[in-house]
Amino acid sequence: MRRQLSAAICNRIVGMRQAGAKQNAIATALGITQGAVSKILKRHRQTGVPTPRPRSGRPRKTTVREDRYLHRLSHTGRTKTSTQLRNEWMRFTNTPVTSRLVRYRLLNVGYFARRPVWKPLLQRRHRQARLGWAHDHLNWQDGHWRHVVFSDESRFLLYRHDGRVRVRRQAHESLAEGCVLPRVQAGGGGVTVWGAFHSTAKCDLHVLDGNMNQHRYCRILETKMLPFARQHFGANFVYRDDNTPPHRTQLIRDFLDQEDVEHMEWPAMSPDMNPIENLWAEVSRGLNNMNEPPTNVAELTKAVIQCWREIPVETLTNLVTSMPRRVRALYNARGGHTKY
């Protein structure tokens, strides 16, 4: 907020001008800008008085400069509460303010409180590896990506609450039946599946009996991935998986070499470059939208398989055609996070 000049200063400006002083000399003598001098003299010529008309309403509690300081505090401390920001702001302004005023000032410049987007923690080596991978695949077009078989594993829990569930109840119903969510160890059980897809087809899910290890993974490659890929591409395909330990053992490398499979190198911490993550999200949405959710692991397994089968081919095609845009976004982010 600009400092409003007193009536004495305004009258002095007019007097100095009438005495023949130049505007720049007046500004220098009074320690104000030449623009302020010009504005006051113009007002005097038009209205006959140099002072502004009285303002209506309560004066602002903070200045524009103080507001800018609040904006910087919020920008550098994204997770701070309005109370924390208020305390820091008051130390700067020496003016008592409320948390409500903090929120109001921030809303005025477009700072809204939102749930954060969860992304993997990227260290410098991860960013460098991601940037190098993006550079290597920057010129790949749709035709290249249509011959890639994307694969991954995912686990689905019987009881899955992401913290966003709300119940509608009256004040006295906090412990009423239907208003309490069950908290069970390890999500009450779940199912882990392996899946793969390319631009026009999905491989049937493989339900894992126990944890993944190199021998189980080799068996999946032999009985699931290779028949699926060769049925659609013959030998002309690229296989993509992630860097979990069972995927990167000597046994797996030898098997893929023996089968003459081109194996895509993959940067760690890069789920945003793997479109199968979107398919797992589709499965989760399908489970959440079921009229009668599964009540045991067997029902959950059937539901996961059914939701996977119901994903349309159009979704697969759209995901694969997004790969050039994903790679470009990763390259532009210099290996940092992308919107995908």
Is residue 149 a contact partner of residue 204, using CB atoms and an 8 Å limit? no
Is the CA virtual torsion 210, 211, 216, 221 positive or negative?
positive
Predicted local distance difference test score (pLDDT) of residue 189 = 83
Chain CA centroid to CA 282, Å: 18
* 302 pLDDT higher than 70: yes
Strand-strand pairing, 238-240 and 262-263? parallel
* 129 pLDDT higher than 70: yes
* 309 pLDDT higher than 50: yes
Q: Which residues of 121-159 are buried (b: 16+ CB within 10 A; e: fewer)?
A: ebeeebbebbbebbeebeeeeeeebbbbbbbbbbebbbb
State the DSSP string of 277-288. HHHHHHHHHHHH
* 31 pLDDT higher than 80: yes
* 185 pLDDT higher than 60: no
Residue 141: pLDDT band with limits 50, 70, 90:
very high
Q: What is the mean pLDDT of residues 38-62?
A: 81
**Fold annotation for 124-164+175-332:** Nucleotidyltransferase; domain 5 (3.30.420)
Neighbours of 23 (CB within 10 A): 17
* 186 pLDDT higher than 70: no
Tokens linked to 217: 């993974």
Q: Give the whole-angstrom CA distance, residue 57 versus residue 63.
A: 16
C-alpha distances in Å from residue 165, one per residue of 180, 186, 200, 284, 292: 11, 18, 35, 15, 17
Residue 323: pLDDT band with limits 50, 70, 90:
very high
Q: What is the mean pLDDT of residues 76-88?
A: 91
pTM: predicted TM-score of the whole model, two decimal places: 0.70
Predicted local distance difference test score (pLDDT) of residue 72 = 92
Neighbours of 327 (CB within 10 A): 21
Phi and psi angles of residue 19, each rounded to the nearest 5 degrees, phi first: -85, 0
Q: Could you tell me which of 270, 278, 263, 262 has the C-alpha nearest to residue 327?
A: 270
Residues in the chain: 340
Q: Give the whole-angstrom CA distance, residue 156 versus residue 327.
A: 28
- pLDDT tens string 247-282: 999 999 999 999 999 999 999 999 999 999 999 999
* 244 pLDDT higher than 70: yes
Strand-pair partners of 315: none
* 181 pLDDT higher than 80: no
Residue 307 or residue 7, greater confidence:
307
Q: What is the mean pLDDT of residues 203-209?
A: 95
Predicted local distance difference test score (pLDDT) of residue 1 = 46
Report DSSP state, residue 221: I
Q: What is the mean pLDDT of residues 184-213?
A: 88
Is residue 95 a contact partner of residue 1, using CB atoms and an 8 Å limit? no
Least reliable range by pLDDT among 54-68, 175-189, 197-211: 175-189
Segments making up each domain of the chain, as ranges: 7-47, 64-108, 124-164+175-332
Coil, strand, or helix at residue 311?
coil
Residue 2: pLDDT band with limits 50, 70, 90:
low
Q: Give the whole-angstrom CA distance, residue 234 versus residue 227.
A: 9
